[in-house]
Amino acid sequence: MTFSELKDFLDEKADFYNNPAFIENDPIQIPHRFSELQDVETAAFLTATISWGNRKSIINDAEKMMNLMENSPYDFIRNVSQKELKVLESISIHRTFKGEDFAAFILNLKRLYAENESLEHLFLIRDKEENFYHSLHRFREQFIGENLHRSRKHVSSTYKNSSAKRLMMFLRWMVRRDRKGVDFGLWKNIDPKHLSVPLDIHTGNISRKIKLIQRKQNDWKTVEEMDSALRKFSAEDPAKYDFALFGLGVSKDF
């Protein structure tokens, strides 16, 4: 396909998959159950954290986390007791994300919320930064803090060349804004132009198939390769193509 044909194709597919029906079978349905900013972002962050593997399993296990937090995640995090944390530590959550990881994440979030009204502040882009490479490293450092618990392995490090797929998905949910009703767009101080498409097996394979990228690894260097292509199609909203690439990959209709 020519540049124009590929742009038209991806625009069409992004528009097709980016609609409220997408929510029903996607982990984003979990934060969509809430309305308060802090509830949405904490539910979104925890759901994104366990978003690998089968989508149905992800949704079920994210729902389990919400139930354990009495379906009031922000209030639970602020007021959690040591007794409640001890109970969480013994519960199986999702694959290698164990109950003790969940408890450690809650403690880290409790500390961050004591210092910040919203998690948005922890992801802000600085002058001359074009993507979230440095931002995600800064967030990881602040989130982990002095807590060297095993749970830190569940927060990807861009400085170690990780694609940080789950964190990028969380950012897409919170930052992208349009009238389709899928992404929340609640964070107003981060420009969507800095977003990247979350790079996973689906978006990576489709991108290679249509010659968007050449690299075979799903790492941060490939994220930047994909950025350079997709930002030519939409400099102001490159992450919208996640709907096209992921949708095509999951549906297998390409």
Q: Which residues of 7-22 are buried (b: 16+ CB within 10 A; e: fewer)?
A: beebeebbeebbeeeb
Residue 147: the pLDDT is 73
- Domain range summary for the chain, segments of one domain joined by +: 3-251
pLDDT, average across residues 200-210: 95
Strands (DSSP E) along the chain, which ranges?
92-94, 97-98
Average pLDDT of the chain is 96
241 DSSP β-pair partners: none
What value does the mean pLDDT take over residues 209-234?
97
Pairwise CA distance, residues 213 & 252, whole Å: 19
Question: Could you read off the pLDDT of 128-184 as tens digits, one per residue?
Answer: 999 999 999 999 999 998 877 889 999 999 999 999 999 999 999 999 999 999 999
The pLDDT, as a whole number, for residue 242 is 98
pLDDT digits over 49-88, tens only?
999 999 999 999 999 999 999 999 999 999 999 999 999 9
* CA atoms of 41 and 118, how far apart (whole Å): 8
pLDDT of residue 146: 83
Average pLDDT of span 227-254: 93
- Tell the burial category of 99 from Cβ atoms under 10 Å away from its Cβ (0-12, 13-18, 19+): middle
- The percent of residues in the chain predicted with pLDDT above 70, rounded, is 99
How is residue 15 written in tokens?
A: 């528009």
Number of H helices, E strands in the chain: 11, 2
Predicted confidence (pLDDT) per residue in 95-121, tens digit? 999 999 999 999 999 999 999 999 999
Residue 193: partners with Cβ closer than 8 Å, 6 or more residues away: 231, 235, 236, 237, 238
Arithmetic mean of pLDDT, 233-239 = 98
pLDDT for 123: 98
pLDDT on residue 74:
98
Bridge-based pairing of strands 97-98 and 92-94 is: antiparallel
Handedness of CA 236, 237, 241, 242 (dihedral sign): positive
Q: Is the pLDDT of residue 254 over 70?
A: no
This prediction has a pTM of: 0.96
CA distance 4 to 51: 33
Helix (H, G, I), strand (E, B) or coil at 144: helix
